[in-house]
Amino acid sequence: MKEYKKEFIEFLVKNDSLKFGEFTLKSKRKSPYFINTGMFKDGKGISKLAEYYAKAVKENFGEEFDVLFGPAYKGIPLCVSAVIKLSELGVNKGYSFNRKESKDHGEKGDLIGTKLDENSRVLIIDDVITAGTAVRETIEVLKKNGNPKIVGIIISVNRKEKGQGEKSAIQELEQTLKVKVTSIIDFDDITEYLHNKEIDGKVVLNDELYQKMMEYKKEYGV
User: Which entry of 2, 105, 108, 202 is annotated as an active-site residue?
Assistant: 105
The predicted pLDDT at position 115 comes to: 95
pTM of the model: 0.82
Q: Which of 12-16, 66-70, 162-166 tops mean pLDDT?
A: 66-70
Give yes or no for residue 52 having a pLDDT over 50: yes
Rounded Cα–Cα distance for residues 116 and 152 (Å): 16
User: Which entry of 103, 115, 143, 144 is annotated as an active-site residue?
Assistant: 103
Rounded Cα–Cα distance for residues 19 and 168 (Å): 22
Active site residue 103: yes
Give yes or no for residue 104 having a pLDDT over 70: no
The predicted pLDDT at position 135 comes to: 87
Give yes or no for residue 88 having a pLDDT over 90: yes
- Name the average pLDDT for the chain: 90
99-110 mean pLDDT: 64
Domain ranges of the chain: 3-220
Express each pLDDT in 148-165 by its tens digit.
Answer: 999 999 999 998 888 778
Beta carbons within 10 angstroms of residue 112's beta carbon: 14
The predicted pLDDT at position 105 comes to: 47
Give yes or no for residue 198 having a pLDDT over 90: yes
Give yes or no for residue 31 having a pLDDT over 90: yes
Residues 15 and 45 sit within 8 Å (Cβ to Cβ): yes
Backbone angles phi, psi at 134, to 5 degrees: -65, -40
Rounded Cα–Cα distance for residues 133 and 131 (Å): 6
Active site residue 195: no
Could you say which architecture CATH assigns to the domain 3-220? 3-Layer(aba) Sandwich (3.40)
190-202 mean pLDDT: 96
Burial of 95 per CB tally in 10 Å (0-12, 13-18, 19+): buried
